[in-house]
């Protein structure tokens, strides 16, 4: 029965499949210690889901085993026209949608063959310690960057799970477990030193967290190392020896040669991202949702993506970028966008004609106390 379940999982399109015990994840204690230390930053949903994460059977009773699944997504780096980068996983159809459809198909197949009546399915958006369960199922081994590595796909694969109501033998030895050995490439290369020690990442210092999950002002010590990243960061995965040799799987997510996907935003630029902060308020949320329909880039919202575009423009200081930043400094509706524009101007254009005067004026009239202080700090460090 177990082999047939795994066979069907591969047949519906998953690259990896294994069975883990349906119980507390091996890393439950480490996760709780990480939460207690505040490493999750403003991601309050992780704290709210603590109980379910450390004892999933209590939250989702009726399960007997867990089917862990993986889908590779390795592809070439994604650079935006004119400068700027986004995480590779974001340059395609939203993986939640892609995997969700395959989970539904898998569920129907298992039920049709009478193998199981699957319970809940998970695709990253529920309080489940996916990597810990997936490691227990033999889908890979934990890296020093706190992700999961597979001998073929490196760190470039999505995870999903399906709770089964049948007892199946775990597949903990299904994948030959590799090792990071003495390699510290990810720790050494992290721009913000977010990897505190092997396997421990402080989200508050992580560029991916700052540009995707965090909704407020990005701390100066993080934005100063942000570089071209407008959404996510792939540095630790790109320098990983396991990640550098992964196959190109871009076509399965509809990736086009230019940035975007069948359901994304082809040809987007940093100034285009920034422009969401200055567009008319009426209907803006709906227009943003439509523009990025089916794309992970919807996650930060229009103001978050505008903030990101402003910050990343400091690494692509073209003339058009300066003009867009000055416009955002003057007319952006949200303080975090105005503050981000001020920082980028101070960092890349402070000596340009009129920029210093514009920044001084913006500080004087800024109504938001935190944004005004942030602008002053930007000028001091500029």
Spatial distance between the Cα atoms of 222 and 226, rounded to a whole number of angstroms = 6
- State the pairing for strand pair 65-72/16-21: antiparallel
**Torsion sign over Cα 298, 299, 305, 309:** negative
**Do 149 and 193 reside in the same domain of the chain?**
no
Residue 213, token pair as written in the block: 């999950």
Phi, psi at 155, each rounded to 5°: -90, 0
Residue 123 belongs to some domain of the structure: yes
Domains contained in the chain, number: 2
Spatial distance between the Cα atoms of 43 and 19, rounded to a whole number of angstroms = 29
**Do 119 and 193 reside in the same domain of the chain?**
no
Domain's final residue, options 135, 164, 193: 164
Residue 362 belongs to some domain of the structure: yes
CA-based nearest residue to 311, from 226, 375, 247, 237: 226
Residue 201 belongs to some domain of the structure: yes
Burial class (CB in 10 A: 0-12, 13-18, 19+), 220: middle
Angle, alpha carbons 338-375-39 (nearest 5°): 85
**Do 137 and 194 reside in the same domain of the chain?**
no
Spatial distance between the Cα atoms of 120 and 127, rounded to a whole number of angstroms = 12
**Do 190 and 329 reside in the same domain of the chain?**
yes
Q: For position 257, what pLDDT does the model report? A: 55
Residue 176 belongs to some domain of the structure: no
**Do 54 and 83 reside in the same domain of the chain?**
yes
**Do 7 and 131 reside in the same domain of the chain?**
yes
Residue 141 belongs to some domain of the structure: yes
**Do 115 and 212 reside in the same domain of the chain?**
no
pTM of the model: 0.93
Residue 377, token pair as written in the block: 């700090």
Angle, alpha carbons 40-274-270 (nearest 5°): 90
Residue 257 belongs to some domain of the structure: no
Domain's final residue, options 112, 135, 164: 164
Q: For position 111, what pLDDT does the model report? A: 95
pLDDT in tens, the chain (382 residues): 999 999 999 999 999 999 999 999 999 999 999 999 999 999 999 999 999 999 999 999 999 999 999 999 999 898 898 889 999 999 878 899 889 999 999 999 999 999 999 999 999 888 999 999 999 999 999 999 999 999 999 999 999 999 999 999 999 875 656 789 999 999 999 999 999 999 999 999 999 999 999 999 999 999 999 999 999 999 999 999 999 889 999 888 876 555 555 545 557 899 999 999 999 999 999 999 998 888 899 999 999 999 999 999 999 878 889 999 999 999 999 999 999 999 999 999 999 999 999 999 999 999 999 999 999 999 998 8
Residue 196 belongs to some domain of the structure: yes
- State the pairing for strand pair 229-231/85-86: parallel
Spatial distance between the Cα atoms of 211 and 233, rounded to a whole number of angstroms = 9
**Do 224 and 361 reside in the same domain of the chain?**
yes
Q: For position 125, what pLDDT does the model report? A: 81
Across 126-158, b (16+ Cβ under 10 Å) vs e yields bbbbbbbbbbbbbbbbbbbbbbbbbebbbbbbb
Q: For position 93, what pLDDT does the model report? A: 83
**Do 11 and 151 reside in the same domain of the chain?**
yes
Spatial distance between the Cα atoms of 115 and 124, rounded to a whole number of angstroms = 25
DSSP 3-state of 122:
strand
- What is the set of active-site residues? 124
**Do 228 and 339 reside in the same domain of the chain?**
yes
Q: For position 138, what pLDDT does the model report? A: 94
Residue 278 belongs to some domain of the structure: yes
Please compute Rg for the chain using Cα positions.
22
**Do 40 and 124 reside in the same domain of the chain?**
yes
**Do 159 and 193 reside in the same domain of the chain?**
no
Range of the domain at 211: 185-233+263-381
Phi, psi at 16, each rounded to 5°: -130, 145
Distances (CA, A) of 321 to 308, 327, 363: 13, 10, 20
């Amino acid at each position: 029965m177990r082999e047939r379940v795994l066979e069907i999982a591969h047949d519906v399109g998953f690259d990896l499949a294994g069975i883990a015990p349906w119980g507390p994840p091996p890393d439950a204690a480490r996760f709780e210690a990480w939460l207690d230390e505040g490493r999750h930053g403003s991601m309050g949903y992780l704290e709210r889901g603590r109980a379910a994460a450390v004892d999933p059977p209590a939250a989702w009773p009726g399960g007997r085993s867990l089917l862990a699944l993986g889908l590779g997504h390795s592809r070439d780096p994604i650079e935006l026209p004119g400068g700027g980068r986004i995480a590779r996983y974001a340059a395609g159809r939203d993986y939640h949608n892609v995997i969700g459809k395959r989970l539904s198909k898998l569920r129907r197949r298992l039920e049709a063959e009478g193998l199981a009546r699957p319970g809940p399915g998970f695709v990253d958006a529920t309080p489940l310690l996916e990597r810990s369960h997936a490691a227990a199922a033999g889908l890979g081994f934990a890296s020093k960057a706190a992700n999961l590595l597979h001998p073929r796909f490196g760190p470039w694969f999505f995870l999903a799970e399906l709770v089964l109501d049948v007892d199946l033998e775990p597949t903990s030895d299904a994948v030959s477990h590799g090792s990071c050995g003495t390699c510290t490439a990810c720790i050494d290369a992290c721009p913000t030193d977010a990897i505190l020690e092997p396997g421990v990442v402080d989200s508050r210092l992580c560029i991916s967290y700052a540009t995707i999950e965090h909704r407020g002002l990005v701390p100066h010590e993080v934005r100063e190392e942000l570089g071209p990243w407008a959404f996510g960061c792939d540095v630790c995965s790109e320098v990983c020896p396991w990640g550098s040799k992964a196959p190109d799987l871009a076509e399965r997510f509809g990736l086009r040669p230019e940035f975007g996907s069948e359901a994304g935003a082809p040809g987007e630029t940093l100034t285009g991202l920034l422009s969401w902060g200055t567009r008319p308020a009426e209907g803006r949320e709906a227009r943003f949702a439509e523009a990025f329909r089916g794309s992970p880039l919807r996650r930060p919202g229009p103001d978050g993506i505008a903030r990101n575009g402003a910050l990343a423009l400091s690494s692509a200081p073209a003339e058009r970028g300066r003009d867009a930043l000055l416009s955002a400094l003057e007319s952006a509706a949200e303080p975090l966008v105005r503050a981000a524009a001020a920082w980028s101007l101070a960092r890349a254009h402070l000596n340009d004609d009129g920029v210093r005067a514009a920044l001084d004026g913006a500080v004087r009239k800024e109504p938001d106390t935190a944004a005004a202080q942030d602008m002053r700090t930007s000028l001091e460090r500029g």
